[in-house]
Structure 1
Amino acid sequence: MHSYIRPNTYIALRLPSGTLKVLEIIPNTTISIGKFGAFPSNLLLGRPYYLTFELLDKDEGRATTELRVVPASELHAESFAEDHATPAESRDEPAEGGGEFDIVGEDGELIMRSNRLTVDDPSRQKLSMDEIEELKKAGTGSGKEIIAKIMASHMAIDEKTPFSLAKYTLRKSKKYLRRFTALPMDVSLLSQYILEKEAHRVMELREEMLGLIGSWANVHCAASSRVVSSPDGRGMIGGGRWLVVDDTGGMVVAALAERMGILYPEETLDDGDEDLEQEQGQHQVPEDPTKERKLSSGQDGPGQSAAADTGTDVMMVDAPSPEPPQLLSETLQSDRSNPPNRRSDNTAPSSPPKLPSPELPGRASDGSAKETTDHTHQKSRQPRPIKPQMSALTNTLTVIHSNAQPNLGLLKYFSFDATSPVPTHPLYTNLKTLSWLQLLHPSEDASSIEPEVVPDSVLATWKSGKRGTYYRKRRRWERTSRVVKETRAGGFDGLVVASYMEPAAILRACVPLLRGAAMVVVYSPTVEPLVELSDFHSKERRVAYLARQNNGIENGKNGKRNVEEGAENNEEDGGEADSDFPVNPTLLLAPMLQTARARRWQVLPGRTHPMMTSRGGAEGYLFTATRVLPVEGKVEARGRFRAGKKRKVASDATAST
C-alpha cells in the first residue's frame, strides 16, 4: 500500500460526523464533500494519509479554496488540557430514591454540578436557524466561529454539567466543523463502507467474519513456498494456492489477497525516471512533419509502419507460434516484450502528448539499419518485461464463477479491473478465473476449443487487424487451457466459499481438488444451509457410508468422485442413495459451525447494554472442516480382545475356588 495519495486511486474521506465518503482522486477535478464545500483534487495529490485537513474559504488573500493541515496539538487540545481534572470518586453508598445532587468538596467548592434542574428548551438559544444559515453562507473561517457564536448565544450554557457540555460541544463540532481525514482504502474500510451502503451486495459480510475466514482457511503469503509435483505428474500439490467461490462482488477475494500480499500495486521506484523521460519526449519535435506523417501512415514499408505504431501491430510481430499450454510461460514472455504505451499515473492531463521521433532508434529514414551511439536513449526505449496473465505458480487465487465473466467489481477500489487488468498489478498474474462449465465440462465450453493453426506464410499475407485477432484468440485459448488443466489437477491448499449456491453441490465438485489437511471454509448469512451441510458430514452418516461400502451395497458410482480427472462428476442422478449421501462424508473431518459478531456497548453504572443504534441484519455463520485422504482398501481390526478378557475372568474365578 502506498504511503501517500497518488493520482487515479480511491481514498476515503472521514467527515466530522463519522461518515465515510469514498472517491477517486482524478487530477484537475473538483472534489465536493456536500455541505462542507468543495476543493481542487490537486491539493491532495502527494499528501500523506491519515492527515486531517480543514477547508479555508476564498477571501481577499486567496483566489481558490485551500486546505490547512490541522496539527495534532489542535486536534487533541481538550485531551491535553490540564484544567479538566477528573473528580475523585466517592465510595459512599448511593442515597435511596436515586436522587441526583451536586458534588461539593470539603471546602465547599462545587466540584460537579448535577443536571437535575437543567431544562433543555430550544427557546434558550438566541440564534435562529435563519441566522445560523446566514453565518454558514458567509463562509467565515472553518466553522469554529459559528460554534463559538452558537455557544455564546446559549442562555443556559452555564447550567450544563461537564458531561453535557462536552456532548453539546461535540455535537456542534460534528455539524459545523469543515474538516476531513484522508484514509487509504483497505479491506477493513471498504467492508464498513459497503456494509452501510449495500449490505446485500456482500451477503452482509462483516469485518470480523472476514478475519475468521482468513484465519480458518490459513491464508498467508506463500510466494516462496515449495511446489511438490502430484503423484501422477499432471499437477502440483501446495504452493500457496487457494480455491475461491465468491458471490460478494470481490470482497472475499480482496480480503484473501490482502493476507497474501497481492492486493495493492507495488510502489515502483522509477516514477521519477518515467516523468523525466516523458518530459524529454515532449520537447522532441519532428524536424520534418511530412516524414512524421509518412511514418504514421506506413508509407516507408511494413517494417517501419509496424515499429512506428505503438499499438497491437508491434505485438503481433513477436506473437508466439502455436505451442502446447505447458510451454505458454516461455512463449508469452517474448510475446509481451513490446506492450502498448500507457500513460503514467503522474502525468498531468494538461501536458501535451508525446510526439513520435522522426527517426526510429536503430534504423535510418531509408529503412536501413544504423548504429546507435546514444546508449542512454536506447535504454529509455527498451520496453519493460511483462509476465503473461494468470501465469503465477505459487501464492495464487483461483476464482470459480457461474457467469461469462467473474463478478469482481469491488477490486476497482484497489486499482484492479478484471475485464482489462493492468500488467503491473500483482493480481494480473496471481488471480486466475474460470467458470463452472470450464471446470466440470471443459469440452462444452467455446473458449476451450483450440483455434485453427495458420501457417506463418499465410499470416504474412493477412492484414494487421486480422492477424492481431488471430493472436488474441490463440492467447486466450492457451491461457484458458492452462488454468483449466491446472485447476482440474487439484492440489489446492484450501477452499473458501461465499455463495448463494447450494453448499453441498459446491463441495461435491471442489473438495476432491484439495490436498490432504487443506481447510474448507463456507460462509452463509443464515444458519440453515450450514446446518444441513454439517449433517451431511456427521459421524453417523460417515459410519453408515462406510458400512454400505464394506457390505458391498453401493453400485460403485454413487457418492464417488473421479479424482484423477479433477472435478468430473460420476454420480447418478435420482435414487435413494443420492438423497442419503449427497456428498462423500469421508472426505472432510471435524466439521464445525460457528459465528462471531463484534458489538459496541454502552458501559455506564446500571445502564450497560449494547448500543441501540447498532446495525442489525443477518448474523452470518461459518462452516469449517479439514480435508482428509481416505485410506485405500478395507481396514479391519485384528485380535481376540473380548475372548482374552473372558478367559482372564474365568481363570480368576477358578483360582478363587
Structure 2
Amino acid sequence: MCSYIPHNQFVALRLPSDQTKIVKLIPNSTISLGKYGAFPANQIIGRPFHLTFEILGTPHEDGNVLRIVHAPELHAETLIAESSGEADGEGDELDTNGDGPMRTNRDIVDSSSTQKLTWEEIEALKRASTGAGREIVDKLLESHSAIDQKTAFSLAKYTLRKRKKYMKRFTVLPIDVSLVTNYMLYEKDAPKIMELRDELVGLIGCWGNVHHGGNLSIEETMSRPNGRYLVVDETGGLVVAMMAERMGILYPEEPDEEEEQASHPTSHQPGSGPTMRPPRPQPMSATTNTITVLHTHGAPNLPLLRYFGYDQDSPDELHPLYTHLKSVSWLQLVEPQSDPIYANEPPVVPDSELATYKANKRSTYYRKRNRWLKAQSVVNEARAGEYDGLIVATLMEPISVLKHSIPLLSGSASVVVYSPHIEPLTELADLYSTPTRTAYHNRKRELEERARQKESEEPNHSDSVVQPDLTELEEEFPIDPTLLLAPTIQTSRVRPWQVLPGRTHPVMSGRGGAEGYIFHATRVLPTQGAVQAAGFGRKRRRVGAVDTPNTLSDSPDVEMES
C-alpha cells in the first residue's frame, strides 16, 4: 500500500456527515462532493493519507482552494465535549457562581422557533460564505434564543451537529478491505456482499489459515508448492480481496525512483546499443502463493477488486493479482472435455507458413494458441488438487460445492463455508458428524460383504479382489463424510455500546440484517483398509504369594474350661 495519495487510483473521502465517498483521482480533474463543494484532484495527489482538508470559498493567491486542518483545531470540539462530559452527568450542571440554582436542560424544548435565522437567510449565507462554513455556524449560535440555557455538554453536541452539516471538510483515507466492507454494508448494497461484516471477514481469514506462502519455486522447496487456495466467491470479490491482503498480493508494489527511471527512460544515447525491455509477465503464471477462483460464468464476478487497482477488463500487468489470481469454471473442473476453450486445440501452423501471414492473422493465431495453453495449464493444475485451503461464500447449496472441491485439498487443509443463515450449515455439519460417519462405514461394510458373498457363490470364482458396487451408498450419502473432521459452526458480532454515566446500553440504532454463520472443518485422508493400532500395553504389577503360617493348625489343642 502506498504511503502517499497516488494518482489514477481509488481513495476514500470521509465527509463531515461521517459518510464515505470513494473516488478515483485522475490528474487534472475536479472532484465534486455535492453540497460540500468541489476541489481539483491535483491539490491532494502526492500528499500523505489521513490529512483533513477544508474547502475554501475563495482560493489563495497560489490558486489553492484547500487548507490543511491541523490536529489542535480538528480535535477542539472533541476536547470540549470530553471536558464537559463529567459535569453533565444526567444533563445537570451547577451554576458557575456556586450559589445559584442548578441549571438543567430538562425543561428546554429545542424547536424551530428558537432559531431566528430563516431558511432563506441560511441559503444566502451559504452563497456568500468564504470561510468553509464557519460563518454559518457562528451565525446559527448567535441567533439561537435558548443558547444560554444549554449546559456545556448539550452546547457542545449542538455545535458539533451544526459543524457536521455546514463545515466543508473531508479526510483522505487509503482503501483497505475493512473500509470497503463497511462501505458496502452500511452505505451501499449489503446483499451484494452477502451481508458480510468486518468481524466475519476476519474470522473467515483466521479459520481458513490464509497467509503468505512464500516466494520460493517448486524446485527450491523440493516439495509441493505452498500457499495455494481454492475459493468460491459470490460477494463481488470481497473474500478474494481479504485473502489477497493476507497473502501480500492485493496492493501493487510501490516503485522506487531508480526503478521508475529504468522502466521509463527519458532519452536514448546514440551508440549505447538497443535498450532491452524486461519480459512481460504471463497471466495466471504463478506457481505458489496463488488464489484459484471457481465460478459459474465465463469469467468470475469480482468488481470490488477495482478499488485496489485491479480491473478485470483491462488488468495491470504490474499488479500482483495479474499472475497470482487464477480462474476456473465449474464446467472446466467437472467436465473439461465439454468446455470448447479447453477441448478444441487450435491447429499448429509451421513457421514457414506463419511467416506468410499478415500481421492481423498472425496475432489472431498467437492469441488463440495462448488462450488454449493458458486454459490447459490452469485447468490441469486445478484438477491435480493439493490445495492448502478452501473458502466458500456462495448462495448455492454447500453440499454440491463441497462434493467436487473437497477431493482437491491436501491433508490438514482448512475448509470454511460462510452463509448468511444457519440452516444450510447445520445440514452440512450433520452430514460430516460422527453418527453419519459411523453409518457410512457400516453401510459400506455391508455392501462389501454382499459383493464378497455374491462372488463366492458364483461357479467361476477367482481370488481377485472384487470391487463392490457403491451406487446405493452414493444415493444414500450425497457426500463422503470421511473426508472432513471436527465440523463446527460459529459466529461473531461486534455490538457498539453507548457509554455515558448512568446511560450505558447498546446503540439502539444499530444495523440488523442476517446474523451470518461460518462452518469450519479439517481435511483428512482416510486410510485404505483396516486400521491396526499397536502399542505398548500397560504392565501390571505381579504380587507373589506369601506363605503365612497357619497358627490354628500348628498350635496344640487347648481345652476350654467353663
State the TM-score, normalizing by the size of structure 1.
Answer: 0.74
Residue 205 (structure 2) pairs with residue 214 (structure 1): yes
Contact kept? 2:57, 2:129, Cα under 8 Å? yes
Contact kept? 1:127, 1:153, Cα under 8 Å? yes
Q: Could you tell me which of 241, 245, 248 is aligned with 1:254?
A: 241
CA deviations 1:333-370 (Å, max 9, x no partner) are xxxxxxxxxxxxxxxxxxxxxxxxxxxx9xxxxxxxxx
Partner of 2:133: 143
1:545-556 alignment runs, 5 A limit: 545-552=440-447
Partner of 1:73: 72
Contact kept? 1:240, 1:493, Cα under 8 Å? yes
Partner of 1:331: none
Contact kept? 1:228, 1:238, Cα under 8 Å? no
Instruction: After TM superposition, give the deviation of residue 637 of structure 1 in Å.
Output: 6.8
Contact kept? 1:52, 1:182, Cα under 8 Å? yes
Residue 482 (structure 2) pairs with residue 581 (structure 1): no
C-alpha separation in 2, matches of 1:428 and 1:23: 23
Partner of 1:535: 430
Residue 421 (structure 2) pairs with residue 526 (structure 1): yes
CA deviations 1:529-569 (Å, max 9, x no partner) are 1111011101100001111222335999xxxxxxxxxxxxx
C-alpha separation in 1, matches of 2:172 and 2:303: 23
C-alpha separation in 1, matches of 2:430 and 2:82: 63
C-alpha separation in 2, matches of 1:594 and 1:242: 22
Compared CA separation, residues 226 and 466, structure 1 to 2 (3 A)? closer
Residue 169 (structure 2) pairs with residue 172 (structure 1): no
Instruction: After TM superposition, give the deviation of residue 57 of structure 1 in Å.
Output: 1.6
Letter of the 1:193 partner, please give it.
Y
Q: Which runs of 5+ in 2 are unaligned?
A: 452-467, 543-562
CA deviations 1:584-611 (Å, max 9, x no partner) are 1010000000111111112345543322
Secondary structure in 2 matching 1:461: coil
Secondary structure in 1 matching 2:355: helix
C-alpha separation in 2, matches of 1:257 and 1:479: 22
C-alpha separation in 2, matches of 1:120 and 1:421: 55
Letter of the 1:243 partner, please give it.
L
Instruction: After TM superposition, give the deviation of residue 72 of structure 1 in Å.
Output: 0.9
Partner of 1:153: 143
C-alpha separation in 2, matches of 1:259 and 1:208: 15
Q: Could you tell me which of 111, 117, 120 is aligned with 1:127?
A: 117
Residue 294 (structure 2) pairs with residue 400 (structure 1): yes
Deviates more, 1:620-629 or 1:61-70: 61-70
C-alpha separation in 2, matches of 1:154 and 1:76: 24
Contact kept? 2:93, 2:151, Cα under 8 Å? no
Letter of the 2:40 partner, please give it.
P
Compared CA separation, residues 386 and 180, structure 1 to 2 (3 A)? same
Partner of 2:327: 433
Instruction: After TM superposition, give the deviation of residue 386 of structure 1 in Å.
Output: 2.4
C-alpha separation in 1, matches of 2:338 and 2:496: 52
1:415-434 alignment runs, 5 A limit: 415-434=309-328
Partner of 1:619: 515
Q: Which runs of 5+ in 1 are unaligned?
A: 91-98, 282-360, 362-371, 557-570, 649-657
Residue 96 (structure 2) pairs with residue 113 (structure 1): no
Contact kept? 1:237, 1:490, Cα under 8 Å? no
Partner of 2:193: 202
Compared CA separation, residues 615 and 555, structure 1 to 2 (3 A)? farther
C-alpha separation in 1, matches of 2:502 and 2:76: 31
C-alpha separation in 1, matches of 2:325 and 2:482: 31
Compared CA separation, residues 78 and 35, structure 1 to 2 (3 A)? closer
Residue 504 (structure 2) pairs with residue 608 (structure 1): yes
Letter of the 2:147 partner, please give it.
I
Instruction: After TM superposition, give the deviation of residue 467 of structure 1 in Å.
Output: 0.5
CA deviations 1:604-654 (Å, max 9, x no partner) are 455433222211111111000000110111126799x9xxx9xx9xxxxxx
Contact kept? 1:16, 1:177, Cα under 8 Å? yes
Compared CA separation, residues 555 and 192, structure 1 to 2 (3 A)? farther
Partner of 2:374: 479
CA deviations 1:131-162 (Å, max 9, x no partner) are 11110111321111110110011111111112
Letter of the 1:610 partner, please give it.
P
Secondary structure in 1 matching 2:396: coil
Letter of the 2:445 partner, please give it.
N
Compared CA separation, residues 209 and 225, structure 1 to 2 (3 A)? farther
Letter of the 1:510 partner, please give it.
S
Contact kept? 1:237, 1:492, Cα under 8 Å? no
CA deviations 1:41-71 (Å, max 9, x no partner) are 1112111111000001236x65966111111
Compared CA separation, residues 572 and 257, structure 1 to 2 (3 A)? farther
CA deviations 1:296-327 (Å, max 9, x no partner) are xxxxxxxxxxxxxxxxxxxxxxxxxxxxxxxx
Letter of the 1:400 partner, please give it.
L
Contact kept? 1:57, 1:65, Cα under 8 Å? no
Compared CA separation, residues 228 and 212, structure 1 to 2 (3 A)? farther
Letter of the 2:73 partner, please give it.
E
Letter of the 2:4 partner, please give it.
Y
Percent of counterpart pairs with the same letter? Answer: 52
Contact kept? 1:437, 1:445, Cα under 8 Å? yes
Instruction: After TM superposition, give the deviation of residue 525 of structure 1 in Å.
Output: 0.8
C-alpha separation in 2, matches of 1:119 and 1:544: 71
Secondary structure in 2 matching 1:590: strand
Partner of 2:548: none
1:374-413 alignment runs, 5 A limit: 374=272, 378=274, 381-413=275-307
Compared CA separation, residues 89 and 175, structure 1 to 2 (3 A)? closer
CA RMSD of aligned residues (A): 3.2
Letter of the 1:269 partner, please give it.
D
Contact kept? 1:591, 1:624, Cα under 8 Å? yes
Instruction: After TM superposition, give the deviation of residue 104 of structure 1 in Å.
Output: 6.3
1:229-628 alignment runs, 5 A limit: 237-270=224-257, 273=261, 277-278=265-266, 280=267, 373-374=271-272, 378=274, 381-448=275-342, 449-552=344-447, 577-628=473-524
Letter of the 1:277 partner, please give it.
P
C-alpha separation in 2, matches of 1:576 and 1:238: 38
C-alpha separation in 1, matches of 2:192 and 2:81: 48
Letter of the 1:525 partner, please give it.
P
Compared CA separation, residues 572 and 624, structure 1 to 2 (3 A)? farther
Instruction: After TM superposition, give the deviation of residue 580 of structure 1 in Å.
Output: 3.1
Residue 503 (structure 2) pairs with residue 630 (structure 1): no
Secondary structure in 2 matching 1:552: helix
Contact kept? 1:55, 1:65, Cα under 8 Å? no
C-alpha separation in 2, matches of 1:223 and 1:638: 39
Instruction: After TM superposition, give the deviation of residue 238 of structure 1 in Å.
Output: 4.7
Partner of 1:332: none
C-alpha separation in 2, matches of 1:207 and 1:88: 36
Compared CA separation, residues 157 and 576, structure 1 to 2 (3 A)? farther
C-alpha separation in 2, matches of 1:525 and 1:141: 48
Contact kept? 1:254, 1:263, Cα under 8 Å? yes
Compared CA separation, residues 493 and 147, structure 1 to 2 (3 A)? same
C-alpha separation in 1, matches of 2:155 and 2:248: 46
Compared CA separation, residues 100 and 219, structure 1 to 2 (3 A)? closer
C-alpha separation in 2, matches of 1:49 and 1:102: 40
C-alpha separation in 1, matches of 2:93 and 2:79: 26
C-alpha separation in 1, matches of 2:295 and 2:262: 38
C-alpha separation in 1, matches of 2:404 and 2:449: 20
Secondary structure in 2 matching 1:467: helix
Compared CA separation, residues 537 and 157, structure 1 to 2 (3 A)? same
Instruction: After TM superposition, give the deviation of residue 398 of structure 1 in Å.
Output: 0.5
Secondary structure in 2 matching 1:429: helix
Instruction: After TM superposition, give the deviation of residue 249 of structure 1 in Å.
Output: 1.1
Letter of the 2:480 partner, please give it.
N
Partner of 1:303: none
Compared CA separation, residues 84 and 496, structure 1 to 2 (3 A)? closer
Partner of 1:57: 57
Compared CA separation, residues 112 and 144, structure 1 to 2 (3 A)? farther
- Number of residue pairs aligned between Structure 1 and Structure 2: 521
Compared CA separation, residues 507 and 100, structure 1 to 2 (3 A)? closer
C-alpha separation in 2, matches of 1:161 and 1:417: 53
C-alpha separation in 2, matches of 1:552 and 1:275: 67
